[in-house]
Chain A
Amino acid sequence: MVQYSFKKITVVPNGKDFIDIILSRTQRQTPTVVHKGYAISRLRQFYMRKVKYTQQNFHEKLTAIIDEFPRLDDIHPFYGDLLHVLYNKDHYKLALGQINTARNLISKIAKDYVKLLKYGDSLYRCKSLKVAALGRMCTVIKRIGPSLAYLEQIRQHMARLPSIDPNTRTILICGYPNVGKSSFMNKITRADVDVQPYAFTTKSLFVGHTDYKYLRYQVIDTPGILDRPFEDRNIIEMCSITALAHLRAAVLFFLDISGSCGYSIAQQAALFHSIKSLFMNKPLIIVCNKTDLQPLDRLSEEDMKLVMEMKAEAIKTVMGQGGEPSNEEGVLLTMSTLTQDGVIAVKNAACERLLNQRVELKMKSKKINDCLNRFHVAIPKPRDQKERPPCIPQAVLEAKAKQAAEQEKRKTEKDLEDENGGAGVYSSNLRKNYILANNEWKEDILPEILDGHNVYDFIDPDILLRLEELEREEGLRQAEEEDTEFEMDGNELSPEEQEALAAIRKKKSLLIQQHRIKKSTAESRPTVPRKFDKYREFTTERMGRQLSNMGLDPSMAINRVRSRSRGRKRERSFDRGDDGGEAMDMDVDRPNKMLRVRSRSLSMSRSRSRSRPPSEVVPGEGFKDSAQKVKAHKLAKKSVKKRNKDARRGEADRVIPTLKPKHLFSGKRSIGKTQRR
């Protein structure tokens, strides 16, 4: 049941399209393949299904059309009349009736042919029955083609009708053409109605919305009405008449007192009187427009008289409602849409009048009693004449007064800041409101960090007690420590012992080093028997030194050795004559520090090497005697004399044994490029 909007009606297809749609749907949605050899029941079923399916679809669609189009009797009389005015009720009903009959016809056709199909005995017969059925259905639709087209047109037009709610607050604007109704409409609502100098610019109803006292009002702009007998009116005028007749609205009758619309005031007044029957029970306001061209006061007498007559009529309507006769101002108003002078006043007046009327009506109706029942203000009944004013204790009153005074007198931090130089100069002392046990402590500075600790972590009211305990513990612990240490001390080595130990370790490490060298050079070192003592390691002096280092007296040992080695050659002793084995004293003072250092060092395998004359035969070399050695020396020198003289390259001179060693000039690299060799 549509209320006031006809936009939801489905599209009505025209005849041909309708047929196409249904038939193609039948073809798609029903099985298509059938063969001669099938069982007869199957063939019959197949074709019956097609016929039924087509009939169903037609039925559905036609039903939809019939249901969606509004029935003129069921909708609001305003819309009923409007549709009648626009589309002619009879034609409309006829069209819908035809659709209905078509629907029934199709159902009948389908029923008949299904009955026939039940007795079809061959594929061909069934098929032709089906073809006939569908054909007849399609003919039916073809016949109602014009109705369908007509309904489609109506539907399109209906969708564009303005959505006017007949039950809500409405203001209706009516009057002669070109008096300024649409401009007024544009002024008070957001509707953008065409405003043109020619008459009948507005050809249909237009809706706009405006607000007053938090309520929404519909404002309906109507096409202009001419003064004609009722029967002669055209469709456009009939629209506004319909609106006037059916909508319960406040009516603004527009009057052009300047006459620039092309019609005199007399004509407009005549119109007014002819349609005043329509203003029954509606709050009426007569609006004089275009006062910028002709103000009301300067009207001619006749015109003034006519206007007053209209006003009287308007007042009558007010009285008819039972309203206040004193409120004459709300009946005749002047304004100018061009200068916007008085526009709002007119709107307010209209809205007010309408609102009052509606409220009155509501109060009179039965429904209001339900609402009224919900409000109830309970007032206790006075039981005697005693006055009982509210009781406020004195203390509260005083406190309130004080607080009020304080609010005014109190000096805020901001004031303080302003006094002392403003925001950048003065920084407020946040400490002054601290609550401490002693007010002198407010400005105390406590360090946050001390010796790598956070002071706040240590703060404790009984820290002194705990500290005392701790110190006591510490004392005990330290006493214990001392005892254990005392025991321990006895095991320390004395300084002499430490010296001796150091000497032991040093000697030992030297021995080890020596041994290691000997071991590593064992392969390449010549093993010469001890009697060929090239570096004079085994001398009596040495032995004497070592023995005396160890604390023994070497003299006896040296003498013994000397006595044994009496058969030595003078040569040797001549060489060593200078060093001679003088007896070494144990406690000789060392004059020279250097000597002391040197003599203290234990001799290594290579002791002091001495230069020897070239003819001296050294045991390890392999010469028989001195002469042989000298000859060998001479021969060697001769062999190189010539070469040296000629400055030729010799043995010691640089030579590259292979100019192109294979490993450098061939082969691939494991990683990298071989750009250079």
Chain B
Amino acid sequence: MSSGYSRTPAAGIKWAGFCRHFSSRAAVNDVIGNDLANTDSSLAFMEGKERLDPFSIVADELSLIATRLRSMVAAEVPNLASAAEYFFKIGAEGKRFRPTVLLLMATALNVRIPELPPAGVGDNLPTDLRTRQQRIAEITEMIHVASLLHDDVLDDADTRRGVGSLNAVMGNKLAVLAGDFLLSRACLTLASLKNTEVVTLIATVVENLVTGETMQLTTASTKRFSMEYYMQKTYNKTASLMSNSCKSVAILAGHSAEVAKLAFEYGKNLGLAFQLIDDVLDFTGTSASLGKGSLSDIRHGIITAPILFAMEEFPQLRAVVDKGFDNPANVDIALEYLGKSRGIERTKELAMKHANQAAAAIDSLPQSDDEDVMKSRLALVDLTQRAGRVGSGELGKRFEPIQKLSGQGKKPTRIIGACGDDGEAVRWNDHQIGHKLAKFAAAAGIFDGTLRLRLAQVDVDLRCRGAWAKVTDRR
């Protein structure tokens, strides 16, 4: 491979790493249809223009998993609100990040294991194995959504601030119960896999999620300013789920400890890269300039990597942070320091570093000539580039701007919650139930269309499309 990938050297190296698996350019060409002689098109490939869409490779399986998740929830979701009924419609799912990674990993690891029985008997095994690996994807989604719901539980002070404390209390019940329900289902599905090592890994994930969230609640100032503490918290809250579920996929397939570790490293670094870019986007939004993002982290007093880096350059920023960010003027001051610092750049660099480590893990997998295996590995590497970079790529925060729908001649409505495909609420006001439902629906990605609900004497519309949901208060 030439060294002419000067625009994105890191991407070029990853590409070159892959190419060594192929016997010739022509062979690569056959697989992915790219003309390698054309440097530009390769770069275009690596910058995410979809010649190879990781999500589409596994689209069928994703939709199978979504159907299974939906049928499970539809049968059991409790009728908590006083006269609400839930109608679940089948529709486009949108991009489901975690299951996509896991399914691609399952294929990417599909190196023939010598001890598999001969073809006749062996044919039965892989199907079971694939189903079991799909279960890991289901379990992962259930745990992810459960943790979002539990993270959302409000304390009494918060419930009193809401419009009508009854709503907030109901919101808490919904959050706790729905989360518990999902956790219990995850436990049962886990048990059905009959693999105690996997049970251990997934149990560790739950523990890490809780620990991470609790770390975030901790306000001891020394820890708040520590990058190391922050990265540990980030691992717990975001990367652990990815790392341990990737490893579980490997373990179910009976891979060696080394291969399992590579899967783990991929998931871990991918998760870290993803979160670091998330931190950046919270400041920059989809534009490159500061302050166009939603700034929800800093407004909640959550100190993320860019600010931590900025504090290293400008110690006086600590005093600003200590004052808290209830006062918008303080936010502006912090943003000013951030702009002067290399905080954003350094975070992006760190994200890229982790993205490359993830890609390197894939590169280190035992060689395979199988076309599906190669395709999946390419897709996994592609995901690292999407995750590790701020771009217009699909892994960035993707949501429509919140509009205030005031109708002339129409019934006025108020948007009361919305969130993107990562399950994070972009904005909400004081209707906490709407907020929770929006998160739940979007993160689970199980709706499409409009649900009309009555919750605690309030009519709400839950309008969902693809991977995000918007809750409107009908008055």
Chain A bound to chain B: no
Binding site for A on B (CB under 8 A): none
